[in-house]
Structure formats: structure tokens, C-alpha cells
Structure 1
Amino acid sequence: MTSPNPSGESQTLGGVRAEVRATPEYPFTPVHAPIKLDQNESALDFPRSLRELAARRMLTRDWNRYPDLHAETLRAKIGEYEDWDAAGVVVTPGSNVIIKLLTELGGIGQRVLTVQPNFSVYELEGQMLGAKLTRVPLRADFGLDVPAMRRELAAGGPGVLFLTQPHAPTGHLDDERDVRAVVEAAGDDWIVVIDEAYHQYSGSDYRSHVLERGNRLSLRTFSKAWGLAGLRLGYALAHPALAANLQKLVSAFNVSVLTQTVAEVALEHPEYVRQRADEVIWERGRVLAALGGMQRLHALPSRANFFLVRTPDAGDAYTFLLERGLLVRRQDKQPGLEGCLRVSIGSREQNDALVEALLELDGE
């Protein structure tokens, strides 16, 4: 087989925008391990009874026909579940797709404002789409630096403001007064995005803030508490006018019949989500309490389904855990997270193995 000539790369890629070439790839390399605690997924799969119901329902659907143009049936069901006008619901294959579309909607040739450290997709999309990207460092306790955020917002839009509640990858949940102060400082010149991917684990809910102004939006996902990361489905809750403009950027027929069917079944049986979220919250408290006496390592508080562990050397700690069958995620390259690993809450047995390994590492 003839291989491409690396020396011709600059000529071959001459049509690729410089911003895309300069943006790094999404920072994730798949690694296999017996206990997987690296991607903030649910440790429990979609309930078997609901899987069987979805499979039976799929057999009644027409596979030779396109799905709804813009997932209208599913948007209506999400609207009913969230007590939201269906005209203000936008659905895509994963909330990361909506982040990209929001950056297209309000960031190209304009501004993207977020915090640091944060979910890397906000900055990656901002960089690739050529937005003027500003990242405001969080406080030492990982809270919002409200005065600094206000200054950046006052410097002028238009653009997109991304706030995450609770934050990823820190798990910190801000005081609602701080969030309100930042959101209100945005005025009308910014699209204000409150990413609530982990809200079931924190008890927070910013839908009422979104209702107050037409340029605000809540971002939610089926990948976490719903236990449907493999389905790839996320949605936005917004005022109908904002949703209509965002919808223009969504590809037609972008939610498959399979995805729509499974999501419909989940929305018809949401009681399992609250039960599982409560289990994760209980396990999170148990694990953090068990690790509270460590001397060299420090498990940091969290309101999500993951937490950070600060270590003397993240690389050594990552390898130590992997050798014991535990896969976690390094975060030590992000500003303010030196030495940090991010660890998802797993099943009770997985968490017990994690605690045992971390206590062993702490004692070395």
C-alpha cells in the first residue's frame, strides 16, 4: 500500500482553515480495564425490562422510513417530562453536538466566554470555529470568580457564555446567587448556556432562570443519570424563538428511530433515574468519607457523579490504579488541577476496590 507523503501535508491541507489545524484533538484515548471509572457514565445499564420494551416497540416501527424531521415526537415527550413548551426543545445526538451548534449560532466571528478549568469541548469548539475565546480562571475553591466574569461580560459581546452547574471536571456547585449575578450581567448581548448535564446528582435546577429571559438556555443529557450514554442523546431547553434559530443549524433527521424509541420508553418510566441518582449520591458520600483521612492524597468534595483526587504525581497514581484494574482520568494538564485525577462513582463493589487502592497508594 502506498503511504501519503508527510512532506506534502501543508499543501494537501491548504484548504483546511488554520483554526481547525491549530486546534488539538479531543483529549481522550480509549484504555481497557476491568473497572472503568474514567468517563462519568452510569455504572448501571438501562433497566433490562425497559430494554426489552424498547426492543419490542422497535419491531413495530418502519425501519425503511426516515424518522421525524426534527424529532418532533421526542421533543414533545421531553417537553412533557420537563414541563416545557415543546417549541423550546432542541434535540441532537449528544449535548456536545448542541455545544458545537451554539458556538456556530453565537460564536463565529464573535466571542465565547467560559471558565478554566472546564469541560474541554467549549474551548475546542470555540477555537475551531474562530471565535474570540476567553477563559476566566475559577477561584482556588473552584467557584465562579464573579467580579472577573462581570468584567469580561461588560467588555462586550455579542457571543456565547458557557456555565456548567455543577462544574466539570471539578464537581463544584456554585451558590445560586453567584450564578444569577453572572447570568444577569450578561444582559441581552450573550447567549447564556447553563450546562446541567449532572443536575440530578446535585439537586440544582436552573429552568426558572432560563424562563426569565429569551437569550438563556439549559443543556441536558441522557448520558449520565439516565444511563444511556451509548444512545447519544442530548437536548436544550430554551424560549421558542432561541430554539427556532438553534434548530436551523441541526441536521434534518438527526435522531434515529432506534434512539427515539429508547428515549420514549425512558421518558415514560423516569422513576428509575431518581432512584439511581440517589444511589450515586449515597455512594459518593460513602466513598468521600472513607477517603477523608488520607495524608498524601486528597479527595475533593463534589456534587456530581465523579470527584477529583489530588495526588503528588498524577502519572504515577494513574499507573498505580491501572495496574490494579482501575481506569480513571488524568486532569493534571488543566490549570489549577495539578496532580489531579478524576474518578467516576461506580457500583458499590467497584467503589470498594477504588477506596482500597487509594488508601494503599496514600500509605506508600
Structure 2
Amino acid sequence: MTTEPLPPSATVPDPAGVRPAIRAVPAYPFTPVDVPIKLDQNESPYDFPADLKALATARMLARPWNRYPDLHAETLGARIAAYENWDPAGVVVTPGSNVLIKLLTELAGIGQTVLTVSPTFSVYTLEAQLLGARLVQVPLQADFSLPVADLQKALRENPPGVLYITEPHAPTGHVDTEAAVREVVEAAGDWVVVLDEAYHQYSGTDYRALVRAGENRLSLRTLSKAWGLAGLRLGYALASPRLAAHLRKLVPAFNVGVLAETALEVALEHPGYVQERAAEVQRERERLFAALRDHPTWRVLPSRSNFYLLRTPDAEAAYRHLLSHGIVVRRQDRLPGLEGCLRVAVGTPAENDALIEAAWAFR
């Protein structure tokens, strides 16, 4: 089953007050598909552990629901700070890192520049377009690595704003050398530099030290991936207290409810499951690569995240074939440099077995 938004009537004009930038930008490109195996959104294949879910539920029931939560999730922010070994004044919490991307574009992009690579995470470009920022994209190298010299050139030639670097990269799963990332970050001068580390548990990378070394730098992290809490919608930024104070001005008051906050507190008290599950996903990822390495027409591209790209001769045919086997993945073939590509999340062992079987059944 698919759900499609109803198109606007050609005979009904948009309200005149809607900004042209909003009218010109399509909605976020996602259509839910109801099939048994869901590998299209880079989620953890595992739910929050049942015992921790029960503990969180008991705490939720004990809390008053008639009172507002913290103004800016200060209690939760302090617990994140303790977990990340960070100054609590530099932690900013919102309902998902997508919200932080929007706020960072408001902070440093409106009337200025949003600089990123191409292809890239679609929310960077979407928010730049919606907010009327100057969007500059620099093509990745053929091996999906950072175009260091070209990014340095773009940093020099464009008015400062916000620079997005994703490690591991989305949607390719590529991880750059620390030296390459450092070269770009240190060339950024007065730009606000965002190191999006949504998938860092799967790659073993960690740029907190690089972020600490500059007042203009920020690490973006999420509870939606390795933590297995996408349904709760929580993300956070690690920054200098000064940069965090400016970013917090844009965060709506009381934006994290007590129920999500309670579940996160429980998760932060029991983080061991995150490392165990990330290791399991890494093992399954390598098993998938080995099983598909010799496929006659599909090619698995290297990745150090919880997803990978499959390059096929015909993305539409490959997508439909997997769908007929009850597996939904994400088409990426319309993005520059990703011709024929599908993005596939690493699932449970049983889901991965089904993917391998379906792949080898393709003719």
C-alpha cells in the first residue's frame, strides 16, 4: 500500500501570503510503503529493549503530565552532557536532528550561504531552499570522498554561513580521513561548521575533539539510529556554550515532552545495548557485502554506516523486484553520481537473508 499526497487543484491559487520559496519547493520526498521488510529509512532494525521500555513506561506513569517540561530540556541536556563528556551549557536538545538542521539554517543560512556537497542529505538543501538561503553544493569525488580543494575554494569565494559535513556521509556511507575533514574545517574561518555524526556509532568515528577546538563548530547527533529510538524523535547538538546560546534562541519553548525525556533518561542510564547492536549491524553489513559481492549485475558499494548503496543497471526494475519480495528500499538514482543506485539499510539477520535471496533471484 502506498500513500500519495493529494495534488493541489490547478484552479485554486496558492494564498498570496505564502512565500515564493515555499511554493517552489516540493514536499519532503518520502512515500510510506506497507511491506513486511522495511529497509528504506536507515532505522535500527531493533526496537528499544523490552526491559528498558517497561522501566521507562513505569517512570512515565509516575510523572505528572499536567505540568510543562523543562523550557529547553535542561535536565535531559545535562544527562547527555555527562554521557558525552561535554559542557552542559553547550548541549542543545530538540525533537530530532532534522529540527536542528532547520534551526542551524535559520541561525547561519538565511541571507547568507548554505554550503554542502552533492549528493548530500536532502534536508540540508530542502531547508536552504525553504528559508531562501544561498545554496552552494560542491560535487563529491568519484569515490565519494570530500572534494577538499573545491570546498576550500567555495569557503573563500562565498559569503560566510553554515557548512555541513556528514561523517559517515549520507547517502553513500563513505567515511573520509580525519586529515581531510580537518583540512576543510580549519579552512572555514568564521563559518558555522556542522559535523553531522548521526551514524558515528557504526563507523567508529568521533569528531568531538575537533569541535571542541573551535567556537564556530558543532557536532550533530541523534537518538534515532543506533539508539533505536526513531519513534521518540530526539536529537542534540554539542557546541561551545557561546554558539549553543545563540542556537537555543531559535528553539521553541518546551519542545521536548516529559514522556520522550523519560525514555531518553532510561536509555542514557543503560547505553551498553547501543554498542552491542551497532557491532551486530557491522557484522551483518560485512556478511551482506560478502554475499552480494559476486552478483552478476548488482554491485555493493563500500560503506561504514548502517546502510549501503546497491548500484544496479535499472534502479526502477530492481526496486520493483525487491518490493515484489516484500522488501522496501530507497531509490537514489536521481541524485548526481548515483545513477542506478538503491540505498538499503542493514536489517536483522532474517531480513538480510531475505534481501540476499531476492537479490540473487533478480534476472
What is the TM-score of this pair, normalised by structure 1?
A: 0.97
Corresponding pairs, count: 358
Match of 2:87 in 1: 85
Deviation at 1:360, TM superposition (A): 1.8
Deviation at 1:6, TM superposition (A): 3.5
1:5 CA drift (Å): 9.2
Equivalent position of 1:140 in the other structure: 142
How far apart are residue 331 of structure 1 and its match? 0.5
Q: Secondary structure at the match of 2:62?
A: coil
What is the distance in 2 between the residues matched to 1:359 and 1:187?
Answer: 50
**Once the two structures are superposed, what CA deviation does each residue of 1:302-338 show, in whole Å capped at 9, x if it has no partner?**
0000000000110000000000111111001111111
Match of 2:3 in 1: none
Aligned residue for 2:361, secondary structure, equals helix
- Do structure 1's residue 202 and structure 2's residue 203 form an aligned pair? yes
Q: Distance in 1 between matches of 2:188 and 2:100?
A: 20
Task: Give the C-alpha shift of residue 7 in structure 1.
Answer: 5.1
Query: How far did 1:9 drift?
Result: 3.7
3-state secondary structure, aligned to 1:80 = helix
Alignment partners' CA distance in 2, 1:268 and 1:279: 21
Give the match's secondary structure for 1:218. strand
* SS in structure 2 at match of 1:59: helix
CA RMSD for the aligned pairs? 1.3
Which residue of structure 2 aligns with residue 26 of structure 1?
A: 28
Give the counterpart of 1:169 among 147, 168, 171: 171
Distance in 2, Cα, partners of 1:4 & 1:314: 26
Q: Deviations over 1:208-250 (max 9, x none)?
A: 0000000000000000000000000000000000000000000
Could you list the per-position Cα deviations for residues 141-172 of structure 1 after superposition, in whole angstroms to 9, with x for gaps in the alignment? 00011111011001133200000000011000
Work out the CA distance in 2 between the residues paired with 1:289 and 1:351. 12
Kindly provide the amino acid, as one letter, of the partner of residue 16 in structure 1: V
1:1-364 to 2 correspondence within 5 Å? 6=9, 9-10=12-13, 12-188=14-190, 190-361=191-362, 364=363
The aligned amino acid for 2:335 is Q
Deviations 1:264-283 (A, max 9, x none): 00000000000000000011
Deviates most, 20-29 or 249-258: 20-29
SS at match of 1:225: coil
Q: TM-score, normalised by structure 2?
A: 0.97
| Alpha-carbon spacing, 1:5–1:159, altered in 2? closer, same or farther (3 Å) | closer
Q: Read off the aligned partner of 1:86 and give its amino acid letter.
A: P
Match of 1:173, SS state, is coil
- Name the SS of the counterpart of 2:153 in structure 1: helix
Q: Greater CA deviation, 154-163 or 263-272? A: 154-163
Distance in 1 of aligned mates of 2:328 and 2:234: 25
Q: Helix, strand or coil for the counterpart of 2:342? A: strand
Structure 1: how far apart are the matches of 2:95 and 2:308? 26
**Distance (whole Å) between structure 2 residues aligned to residue 179 and residue 59 of structure 1:** 45
Q: How many percent of aligned residue pairs carry the same amino acid? A: 65
The AA in structure 1 aligned to 2:173 is G
Question: Relative to structure 1, is the Cα distance of residues 64 and 345 closer, same or farther in structure 2, using a 3 angstrom cutoff?
Answer: same
Q: Determine the C-alpha separation between the residues in 1 that align with 2:185 and 2:22.
A: 30
1:52-109, Cα deviation, whole Å (9 max, x unpaired): 0001111111100000111010000000000000100000000000000000000000
User: Could you tell me how far 1:8 is from its partner in structure 2?
Assistant: 5.4
Q: 1:5 to 1:161 in 2, by over 3 A?
A: closer
CA distance in 2, matches of 1:324, 1:157: 49
Unmatched segments (≥5 aa) in structure 1: none
Q: Which runs of 5+ in 2 are unaligned?
A: 1-5
